[in-house]
């Protein structure tokens, strides 16, 4: 009983962090920087989950992250789940090919995933939605990707610190750095 309560409290606190970050991205960022593109902070959760969690936990993390983030970024939940699932599979493929647990590697992966998210969103929007995306905002996309990569360095350190406090074990192929 005690490990289940500990696991659920860890998940609750972890997703509370995501909720606070999404509130920052969706509300506070807009108040401080107006129409300047915001970073895609939820993608750091998906990258972290793909590299520091086992497969079932990664899938659950991606789905719950998509459900929490969708209202904040104004994307339909089904489309958000599809985009994030495709990106999660891509991350798992990258993880199976080569694995480096350094923050700069994870930041570069976050940059890659943030650059790929609008592309997958655009393609899936054309396929799935009856009213697809009409304009593709290129510069907003690039600035958002760069900001996400910058924020991810500190966020990954925070996630690792949080997991160490909660005594979360990592997959066996990873070592602490």
Q: What is the pLDDT of residues 78-121, one digit of tens each?
A: 999 999 999 999 999 988 887 776 778 888 899 999 999 999 99
User: Which residue, chain included where needed, has tokens 């891509």?
Assistant: 90
Predicted confidence at residue 176, as pLDDT, reads 44
Do 91 and 51 form a contact (C-beta atoms < 8 A)? yes
CATH of domain 2-165: 1.10.1760
Q: With beta carbons less than 8 A apart as the criterion, state whether 138 and 24 touch.
A: no
Q: Are 144 and 38 in contact (CB under 8 A)?
A: yes
Q: What is the pTM of this model?
A: 0.85
- Residue 62 pLDDT grade (very low, low, confident, very high; cuts 50, 70, 90): very high
90: burial class by Cβ within 10 Å (0-12, 13-18, 19+)?
A: middle
Q: How far apart are CA 74 and CA 61, in angstroms?
A: 20
Which SS3 state, helix, strand or coil, does residue 94 take? helix
Greatest alpha-carbon span in the chain: 52
Instruction: Kindly state the helix (H) or strand (E) to which residue 114 belongs, with its residue range.
Output: helix 103-128
Distance CA 42, CA 48 (A): 10
**Would you state the pLDDT for residue 172?**
52
């Amino acid at each position: 009983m005690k490990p289940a309560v500990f696991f659920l409290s860890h998940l609750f606190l972890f997703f509370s962090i995501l909720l606070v970050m999404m509130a920052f991205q969706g509300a506070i960022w807009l108040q401080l920087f107006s129409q300047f593109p915001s970073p895609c902070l939820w993608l750091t959760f998906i990258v972290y989950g793909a590299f520091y969690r086992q497969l079932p936990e990664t899938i659950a993390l991606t789905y719950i992250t998509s459900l929490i983030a969708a209202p904040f970024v104004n994307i339909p939940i089904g489309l958000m789940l599809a985009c994030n699932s495709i990106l999660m599979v891509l991350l798992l493929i990258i993880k199976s090919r080569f694995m480096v647990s350094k923050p700069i590697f994870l930041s570069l992966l976050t940059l890659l995933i943030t650059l790929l998210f609008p592309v997958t969103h655009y393609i899936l929007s054309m396929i799935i939605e009856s009213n697809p995306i009409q304009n593709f905002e290129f510069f907003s996309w690039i600035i958002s990707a760069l900001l996400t990569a910058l924020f991810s360095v500190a966020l990954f350190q925070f996630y690792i610190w949080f997991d160490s406090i909660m005594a979360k074990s990592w997959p066996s192929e990873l070592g602490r750095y």
